[in-house]
A = this chain, B = another copy of it.
Amino acid sequence: MFDKTPPKGMRDILPEDLLLREKISDTIKGVYRSYGFTGIETPCVEDLGLLTSKQGGDNEKLIFKILKRGEKLENSSADDLCDLGLRYDLTVPLTRYFANNCGKLPSVFKAMQTGSVWRAERPQKGRFRQFVQCDIDIINEESFLAETELILATGEALEKLGLPDFCVRVNDRRLLKALALACGFCEKDFDKVFVTLDKLDKIGADGVEKELSEAFGADGAKKLVELTESLGDENEKAALEKACSICPEAGENLVNIFGTVRACGFEKIRFDASLVRGMNYYTGTIFEISYGDYGISVGGGGRYDELLGKLIGGKVCACGFSIGFERIFNILKDKGMTVDDGQGKVVFLTEKNASPAVLSSALSAAAQKRTEGNVCLVLKKIKNFGFQLSSLKQAGYTEFFVCSEQGIKKLD
């Protein structure tokens, strides 16, 4: 006898949940496809060297590593037993994919990926060690056209899913850096400074100031919190003007993005100077989607103009947006969303010891009903026929036929 449960932190997906997941995925992909994104797929497994190239931030600590095999394993030292790992996101594999296949792809490549990723996190409610990400990326578009399309497409996908209460928060890494520099922080401390700043929502301005102050001194801490807060207090126009004065490059980028999406009638967007995003590879615009009463992030992304260059040399611009599929699924399930495929559902029942002749009459009748677009089950009656019928009705079956030597009779 074995443990029946899936590995720690992983899940079995029941039929009704899978239907909903497929519907969500199809809806998102339908919208993305209409924007000209094309689907790609990479292996779930990548070389460990690629996965541990310091692009994945803390996720690199969470890699499921795969043992070498055969001779390769025999010749390995104890600290070098693994050669592969399960991917922890879809972005690092995408960059390898583009490097490997760019000759066969359009020069501006709009990629769409839906797939599982794995992270050996301490399991907790709503967090899994295998979960689905749903990414779009635009490679080789250096202007804010990329950001604009990513925001519009992702927004449209959420609307189509019946999730209108979202807001896309936008910032620019270059602005963050300029802010930190202006407040006297050293470049080597930026990562730590930003991790603290990122907690503004959770621990408030006082909390952030205290933490920064303890680590880097009171002066810079006070300045940075005040400056960030002041950008949040202003109306959007004034805040963006201020951003332009602090970091013209980033400010202008933000002005262009906000101007363009608003001109397209998209209003669910907000400038948030305290937005940080965890991944090391972002170089410019960053975004995150907050969802309504849940107050949680249901997606995020940004521009990463250097990641690809590290793989293929030169500069290759890229910008991506990832939808947190599991969170979207949870919200829609909580809302009671179900899938109705519109197909009729019919059952043909026979006695337990039905002859081949009776069974084939039932199977043929089912085949006929299928050509009319119905889902058809052929089943043998069980002892507790009442229970069987009620279970089938609960599963959505509405039409029942009993098949015997005497022919096929509809049950009322």
Contact = CB atoms under 8 A, between A and B. Distances in A.
A360 B263 contact: yes
A124 interface: no
Given A106-B395, A360-B260, A367-B264, A67 B82 contact: yes
Nearest to A6: B43
Contact of A84 (B47, B64, B370): B64
Given A35-B376, A107-B382, A374-B34, A101 B67 contact: no
Interface in A98-153: 99-101, 104-108, 110, 116, 118, 120, 130, 141, 143-145, 148-149, 152
Interface in A1-22: 1-7, 10-15, 18-19, 21-22
Nearest to A116: B44
B67 A40 contact: no
A311 interface: yes
Nearest to A12: B97
Contact of A39 (B4, B18, B69, B148): B18
Contacts of A223: none
A222 to B, nearest CB: 36
A156 to B, nearest CB: 8
A45 B64 contact: yes
A31 to B, nearest CB: 9
Nearest to A83: B7
A262 to B, nearest CB: 8
Contacts of A264: 360, 363-364, 367
Given A6-B43, A39-B19, A256-B356, A1 B104 contact: no
B43 A11 contact: yes
A22 B25 CA distance: 13
Contacts of A53: 2
Decide if the interface of chain A is mainly helix, strand, loop or mixed: mixed
Given A45-B64, A145-B380, A311 B364 contact: no
A107 to B, nearest CB: 7
A201 to B, nearest CB: 30
A411 interface: no
A12 B34 contact: no
Interface of A: 1-7, 10-15, 18-19, 21-22, 33-36, 38-47, 49-50, 53, 64-67, 69, 78, 81-82, 84, 86, 96-97, 99-101, 104-108, 110, 116, 118, 120, 130, 141, 143-145, 148-149, 152, 256, 259-261, 263-265, 310-313, 341, 343, 354, 356-357, 359-361, 363-364, 366-367, 370, 374-380, 382, 388, 391-392, 395
14 contacts: A1-B312, A2-B49, A15-B105, A19-B38, A33-B375, A34-B376, A36-B375, A66-B67, A66-B86, A106-B392, A107-B391, A110-B377, A259-B356, A264-B367
